[in-house]
Amino acid sequence: MQRELIRAVLERQVLRGTVRVAGWVRTRRDSKAGVSFVALNDGSCFQNLQVVAPDNLDNYASEVRRLHPGCSIVVTGELTPSPGRGQDREVRASQVRVLGWADPEVYPLGKQRVSFERLREIAHLRPRTNTFGAVTRVRNCLARSAHRFFQERAFYYIHTPIITGSDCEGAGALFRVTTLGPEGANPGEHGADLYRGDFFGRQTFLTVSGQLEAEAYACALGRVYTFGPTFRAEDSNTRRHLAEFWMIEPEVAFADLNENADLACDFLRFLCNAVLEECSDDLAFFEERIAPGVMDRLQSVATSDFTRMTYTEAVDLLARDGHRFEFSPKYGCDLQSEHERYLTETACNGPVVLTDYPREIKPFYMRVNEDDRTVAAMDVLLPGVGEIIGGSQREERLEMLLVRMRETGVDPDDYQWYVDLRRFGTVPHAGFGLGFERMIQFATGMANIRDVIPFPRTPRNAEF
């Protein structure tokens, strides 16, 4: 007999007929009336299916009464309306076959609440909890929706390299990739010679962004995007940072900063709508148990306009508002977290797009504006998670790009191929990067980024 997903059983209109389901026991309750109730979950949806196992089963005493949270079973039985409160249907089991036991003395998950910190130590088992099941389904919905958004708009999905030779993209410290022995980790002053004998014949690292390579494809195919892992070797210990995370980076030819910002806002709205429409059960759980208000915030981003202002306007607003900050906002300095939080959570009370930052604090590839003092950069801030998107219009003018490389201490010889894009048939283009895990945080209300990725990598943690 064909096994059915619990989600399909719960969606059935007609409550009769024989079904077979398989999953993991969440709880078991016994009744002296001669039945045991088993809440069964198979991951296909948030809800459990109630299995009613009568004591005339031949393995009732020997096995059913020994079922505990975590045990895996296959159940065959009749689907019927449920007389009890809490569910409209149940399966009256004619057979309960145990696939795997879970000794309650040592199995760490039971009916009691377990802290997220503790669950990180058992990351291989935490997907069996309500919270991580829900996070996983929302994560999947966001990934599917991201692809759908770009595919519907004629973007090509491209795969940019994980291993890169660019060592100064200005996006933080890099992980070195080498097949050399211990000397490879600490090259010293003879680094260049040393790496000539390495696997790639040069220094290589794990990528911190697919942007530069995506630009090459955008300047040929028009609209492209990447969706892949990204690595930062920063010793960051916050609830918003991972050493390995996933980033979505669209890149569009013949587009300016304004169109770039429009795309970013449309994209965020699209993702919020998708989660609201496709993950209602999981969202209801987050709303009730994890982060009250999360649905309102999603709804608000999905429907409202994003506040747009320039960096200069933001600094003015922060100074004028009279709010006391630990660091007072100053033109020419990066905005502090407290400033960004104030803008998006208090001043605008919603999503904010900041544009046109001073050229001194931004990397070489961002396009210099007509005022000569600012570059066409943009950050999108969301309440609760802060910066979720960073992007820019790229510098497409060969001479200016070389000027900016000199200014920021980047050697054009290391980026010949990138400079070539301006040398041959250059076009205006723009793009941005969206931190995928931060988007999941916003959609679920999960406070710590380590709890929205299956197996988080952070400083001193690469378990599993």
Partner RNA sequence: UCCGGCGUAGCUCAGCGGUAGAGUAGGUGGCUGUUAACCACUUGGUCGUAGGUUCGAAUCCUACCGCCGGAGCCA
Contact 167, 410 (CB under 8 A): no
Least Cβ distance, residue 29 to RNA (angstroms): 3
Only one of the segments 32-40, 264-272, 307-315, 352-360 lies at the binding site for RNA (rule: CB under 7 A); that segment is 32-40
Q: How far apart are the first and last CA of the chain?
A: 36
The footprint of RNA on residues 330-369 (CB under 7 A) is: 334, 336-338, 340-341
Work out how close the CB of 230 gets to RNA at its nearest, in angstroms, rounded to a whole number. Answer: 7
Antiparallel, parallel or unpaired: β 374-382 and 307-310: unpaired
- For the range 174-182, what are the long-range contacts, defined as Cβ-Cβ under 8 Å and sequence gap of 24 or more? 174/205, 174/206, 174/208, 174/231, 174/232, 174/233, 175/205, 175/206, 175/231, 175/233, 175/243, 176/203, 176/204, 176/205, 177/204, 177/205, 177/206, 178/204
Among 247, 368, 401, 440, binds RNA (CB under 7 A): 247
For RNA, the binding residue among 315, 389, 401, 443 (CB under 7 A) is 389
Q: How many CB atoms lie within 10 A of CB 420?
A: 14
Residue 273, token pair as written in the block: 């709508």
User: How big is the site for RNA, counted in residues (CB under 7 A)?
Assistant: 74
Q: Shortest approach of RNA to residue 293 CB, angstroms?
A: 17
- Looking at the Cβ atoms of 32 and 320, the one nearer to RNA is 32
DSSP percent split of the chain into helix, strand, coil, nearest 5? 35, 25, 40
Which residues share a beta bridge with 78?
A: 18, 92
Closest to RNA by CB, 220 vs 361, is: 361
The residue (of 103 and 193) whose beta carbon lies closer to RNA is: 103
Chain residues 99-118 in contact with RNA, contact rule CB under 7 A: 104-105, 108, 110-115, 117-118
The interface with RNA within residues 414-443 (CB under 7 A) comprises 433-435, 437-438
Q: Which of residues 197-226 bind RNA (CB under 7 A)?
A: 209
Q: Does 84 participate in binding RNA (rule CB under 7 A)?
A: yes
Look up residue 405 and give its two tokens: 């490389």
Sign for the pseudo-dihedral over CA of 92, 110, 280, 5: negative
CB 295 within 8 A of CB 287: yes
Residue 269, token pair as written in the block = 């709205």
Nearer to RNA, 189 or 326 (CB): 326
Q: In the range 260-299, which residues lie near RNA by CB under 7 A?
A: none
Taking the complex as a whole, how short is the minimal distance between the CB of residue 454 and RNA, in angstroms? Answer: 15
State how far the Cα of 170 lies from the Cα of 317, in Å rounded to an integer.
29
Stretch that binds RNA, among 11-19, 25-33, 130-138, 160-168 (CB under 7 A): 25-33
Interaction residues for RNA, span 157-196 (CB under 7 A): 170-172
Which of 1, 2, 13, 86 is close enough to bind RNA by CB under 7 A?
A: 86
